[in-house]
Every structure is written in C-alpha cells, then in structure tokens.
A = this chain, B = another copy of it.
Amino acid sequence: MTDHEDRPRLRVAMVGYAFMGAAHSQAWRTAPRMFNLPLAPEMTTLVGRDEGRVAAAAENLGWSSIETDWRRVIERDDIDLIDICTPGDTHAEIAIAALRAGKHVLCEKPMANSVDEAERMAAAAGAARERGVRSMVGFTYRRVPAIALAKRLVEQGRIGEVHHVRAQYLQDWIADPKAPLSWRLDKQKAGSGALGDIGAHALDLAQYLTGDTVVEVSGALRTFVAERPVASEHAGLSGTASSERGPVTVDDAASFLATFSKGAMGVLEATRFAYGRKNALRIEVNGSKGSLAFDFEDMNVLEFFDAGEPSDTAGFHRVIATEPEHPYVAGWWPPGHGLGYEHAFSHQVVDLVSAIAAGCDPTPSFDEGLQVQRVLDAVETSSASRAWQTVPA
C-alpha cells in the first residue's frame, strides 16, 4: 500500500448527500485505507442544489469542494468519475450526460424510474464503453462477503442446478399509518415503492447468485395506507408529521412469482409493512446438490447445506464469513470481527476502481440494471393485467 503518490488519481464528484451519499462517502474515505487500490481516489467535489447545505455536507463527509449544478461538474476536466446518489428521477439525465462527457459513472439503484430511461442509460453506457468509459449500478448487497461467498460456491457448482429461489426484503418503517410521506412514497420521485427500492435488491441478488435471469413473472402490488401526513421536510427515511395529508402514489408491498431462464422457480417479496423486520433481505437458493441461505439481519453469516455430506452429520453450515479466505475480508480484521452494512460500499469502490484501472467493465453493468428494470416493469404490468407477463429480452 506504499507509494500512493505514484499511483494515478481517480477524481470523484458525487451528486447527492443524503443517506446514500453518506454511505458512499464513507466508502470513498475508507476503501483506499484498507485495500491496496491501483488508483488513488480523490474526493474532489460534492454536488447539491442548496449551497449552504452542500457546503456543510462536504465538510462533514470529506469532500474538498462543492458545486451546485451537476452540469458544471460534468464539464470539468479535473473530474474522472461521477457518483450519482440522488433520487431515481434524476439518474438518467445525469448519467447519460456524464457518460457522454467521458466520465465514469457509479449510479445508485434503482438505476432509473422507467424502462425507457434505463434503455437510454444502457445505450449511453454501451457507447461510452467503446471509448473506455465505465459504468456500474449500485447493487451493493452483492458485495457483502457472505453473498459474494455464496456466489463463489454457486459458480463452483456446489449447489448444482438451481430449483428454487426465495428472496424477501422485509422492512417495517412505514407499517405505522402515522409515518409521514417522504420522497420515497412519491411515484414521481421514486419511480416505485417497495418494488423498486428494495424489491430491486432482492431481484438482483436472485439473478446474481443463480447466474440466471427471470424470464416471466406474475405479480401483485399493494398500497395498504393510501394517505399519510405530509412531512414538514422531505428529508431522510422518516421525517416529522404534520396535520396535512397527501397521497401515497407508490406500492407499500410487492410480491411475485418468477420463472428463470433455466427453469428455476422464484418467489420474491418486498414490503415496508413487516413489523419487526428492520432490514431483512433474505435469500435462499435450493439446488440439485445443496442449498444456500442468507439473512441480512445476520449479515456476516452464510448458511450452506451440502447434499453430498453423509446424512448423520449433514446440516446447514453456519459459515461466519469473516475468514481471510472469504471475499473482501482480508482487507479488514481477524476472523470473527464482523463487518457492517457500510462495508459493502467500500468493496464496491474497490471493485469499481480496480475495473477502471484494469480497463475492463465493472459489474453490475447498466445492461444488468436495465434488465432488472424490465423485470420490475413486468411485475407492474402483470399486477395490472392479472396474468403472467414475459420479460422482454
């Protein structure tokens, strides 16, 4: 990790500085300290519309300068990468402009608020790729060590051919009807509700772990609480309540059956109404040789069942994914010293920076982001048509 000065720099501008911005900043600050990166990231500029607030955020989060218009940043020569942490309705415009301007792009999920936007983004990413400009979507949970370990085991053939995928993302932060409106409950801003916000993560993991894609779905959406108190300020995940009420224009919960291209059956669910489940992103995969199970509420653990073991001692292994042999772990602490939520963002930085330095495309790509968007769109269509819906290829 010596001789940092000799490494080429990677000058980063980040747009947005709420929850995701804080998590990304922590990653940009930390990854270069714990991992030996081929490029030296510099937290050059933080972008936000309110000058006072963005200045305060920049100081808190560790960015060297600020801008109030992302368009200006994209024109600057001293920026190599744009990290997009804004609500979904702005992703397409920023990302496409940035890619055209030759900036690498890291875009938070959901990649876009519509398939149309996502298609244009994927096209822009494809064109940029020709010029060596890289793009990546922030499906960060892929980089939780236990999940990355699961992926490795699937690729090694340890669970064989996949029969079942059941994935759930359960939260409860608006189960109380008195919880106020936030931009996440506004279709205009957020695109969709539980489906796009957290269902996207469950779906991405389902496809990532199996190495397969969903080709058709049958879905259901539900909004349990149609109106909510208007928050005085639309900031953060919650906010404070007032007497005024406004409509919830997104789904509170979504569930869908899925068929994968190789025949596996999927059952997926996303909800913000599962009392007691705080951030329960769970996935279980059953294959012809074994099974894997993960629950983010115990995020350092992967459960693994190997059907080849003698039946007297067979049982799900509770693998504590904190060994140096496990993905990403060698950069951190000794065995058993568990990691937290934000560490996956550091791993995202590691992989993104490494891919840029190596001149290859990081994953998940915008094409993958588009495909996720298409599946989510098919779920919405299916929910309306009350029939199975094929996902466009």
Contact = CB atoms under 8 A, between A and B. Distances in A.
B253 A163 contact: yes
A70 interface: no
A317 interface: yes
Nearest to A293: B276
Contacts of A131: none
A337 B279 contact: yes
Interface string A314-340: 111111101101100000111111111
Interface stretch (A58-66, A81-89, A201-209, A349-357): A58-66
A167 to B, nearest CB: 11
A265 B224 CA distance: 10
A90 interface: no
Interface in A265-323: 265, 267, 269, 271, 273-280, 284, 286-291, 296-307, 309, 311-320, 322-323
Nearest to A216: B386
A17 to B, nearest CB: 12
Number of copies: 4
A275 B304 contact: no
Contact of A1 (B59, B159, B164, B289): B59
Interface stretch (A18-26, A99-107, A114-122, A360-368): A18-26
A222 interface: yes
Contact of A259 (B220, B273, B287): B220
A219 B265 CA distance: 11
A13 interface: no
A387 interface: yes
A237 interface: yes
Given A271-B164, A286-B274, A326-B312, A26 B33 contact: yes
A322 B278 contact: yes
> What is the predominant secondary structure among interface residues of chain A facing chain B?
mixed
A59 B6 CA distance: 13
A323 B311 contact: yes
A228 interface: no
Nearest to A163: B273
Interface string A28-69: 011001100000000000000000000110011110000000
Interface stretch (A71-79, A170-178, A242-250, A370-378): A170-178
Nearest to A299: B338
Report the 5 A-B pairs with minimum CB-CB distance, sorted nearest first: A279-B336, A278-B336, A276-B305, A340-B340, A315-B319
Given A163-B222, A220-B259, 16 more contacts: A4-B59, A26-B34, A29-B33, A159-B275, A164-B271, A173-B335, A175-B307, A218-B388, A220-B265, A267-B267, A277-B336, A279-B334, A279-B337, A312-B323, A337-B341, A339-B341
10 contacts: A1-B60, A29-B33, A177-B288, A220-B265, A255-B267, A275-B287, A276-B315, A277-B336, A337-B342, A339-B340
Interface of A: 1-2, 4, 19, 22-23, 25-26, 29-30, 33-34, 55-56, 59-62, 149, 152-153, 158-159, 163-164, 166, 168, 170-173, 175-177, 218-220, 222, 224, 237, 253, 255-257, 259, 263, 265, 267, 269, 271, 273-280, 284, 286-291, 296-307, 309, 311-320, 322-323, 325-326, 332-343, 386-388
